Amino acid sequence: MTGFTLDLNDDQKQVRDWLHGFAADVIRPAAAEWDEREETPWPVIQEAAKLGIYSLDFYAQQFFDPTGLGIPLAMEELFWGDAGIALSIVGTGLAAVGVLANGTEEQIGTWIPQMYGDPGDVKLAAFCSSEPDAGSDVGAMRTRAVYQEATDEWVLDGTKTWATNGGIANVHVVVAVVDPELGTKGHASFIVPPGTPGLSQGQKFKKHGIRASHTAEVVLENVRIPGHCLLGGKEKLDERLARARERAAQGGGGERVKNAAMATFEASRPAVGAMAVGTARAAYEVALDYARTRTQFGRPIIDNQGIAFQLADMRTRIDASRLLVWRASWMAATGKPFTSAEGSMSKLHASETAKQVTAQALQILGGNGFTREYPVERMHRDAAIYTIFEGTSEIQRLVIARTLAGVPIR
């Protein structure tokens, strides 16, 4: 088992520095333009593909880093560049993880390459889970998938929302209800191949932040997909549903399944925490540089305790957040259980830090911070998302509190 260490190896340092250079030289110069345009930054994604950053191989290498630090290192550097563009680059990974977690080897080999395409023909994927009435409450999901044995097809109907790359993706991964009586245990995931009739983009959201990332509704109307597009296969699904029905009939065992699902979410949350750390660090660095060079009353404003103490607190919170993210990432990679909801802890602290640090950075810049001449205004808007997606801060606190109390997470 890999021991926990704060010393990065040479490969990790090389990848970190490589991504930092890409973020500084390619992402940052384009950030303001694509934020204003509120469009997918195709030229940046294509450049990332040419360099091998937007690729299955790159993310697989980071995902399988035995220390668990590959993904958080990558997320921090890319989101240090710009949150909206970075999310456009990594958004396909959400769908890819859904296939890796639930698909067969054949499905993984077939569909994940189609999600990325190649440098000359870049593709996108979208993961579709949330619904207008089912965000944090996944048990309220209404999108249905009905199996038609005569044609070996699944028929999907419903509306998904808040889908990154939704409607413009080549491949959509859709979570749907196959047995409403089983609640969350009656859900399954499906691949909707490119060009499938009945899938369309609904409302495209005009967002407060991360505006370079496409977010939209996905409407499913009589969407017919082949039976082999059920992730994991029908035999495995039937066995899982039979076990769930048996447990329900016996009146017990359901919470174990529910907590196993929560553990999956827990393991993914440190990556979001790393995104927040990247945005917070970027804002802190702008504020620090500004405080060193901006003079008032004949001296740099960093000489004033009111400014210096804010910067000290900002740096402390950022470093503490990174340590929580690294700890949780290492625990997930080495199979250590999150007995105190360490995944949620890392996401909660880092996301709240991003909001606080970007707000402090804006304040340190004063009137300049409130203008679009400086990037902290955009960073402040972007940071608001971290306390909302992948589970709100309120949900994280609920998960942590219930875990510490030994109460089932519902």
Residues 328 and 324: their CA atoms lie apart, in Å, by 6
Distances, alpha carbon 366 to alpha carbons 130, 355, 377, in Å: 38, 17, 11
* Helices and strands in the chain, H and E counts: 13, 11
Give me the amino acid identity at 7: D
Residues 143 and 131: their CA atoms lie apart, in Å, by 8
DSSP 26: I
Q: What are phi and psi of 281, to 5 degrees?
A: -60, -40
Of the candidates 184, 140, 182, the one whose C-alpha atom is nearest the C-alpha of residue 161 is: 140
Between strands 125-128 and 171-177, the pairing is parallel
Residues 6+ apart with CB under 8 A from 89: 44, 45, 48, 53, 54, 78
Kind plus residue range of the DSSP H or E element containing 204: strand 199-204
Which among 36, 105, 390, 394 is annotated as catalytic? 390
Burial call 53-62: b when 16+ CB within 10 Å, e when fewer: bbbbebbeeb
Q: What are phi and psi of 388, to 5 degrees?
A: -115, -55
Give me the amino acid identity at 232: G
Asked if 160 and 184 count as a contact pair (C-beta separation under 8 A), the reply is no
Give me the amino acid identity at 383: A
Q: What are phi and psi of 123, to 5 degrees?
A: -115, 165
For residue 377, what are its two tokens? Answer: 């205004």
- Is 373 annotated in the active site? no
User: Which residues are catalytically annotated?
Assistant: 390
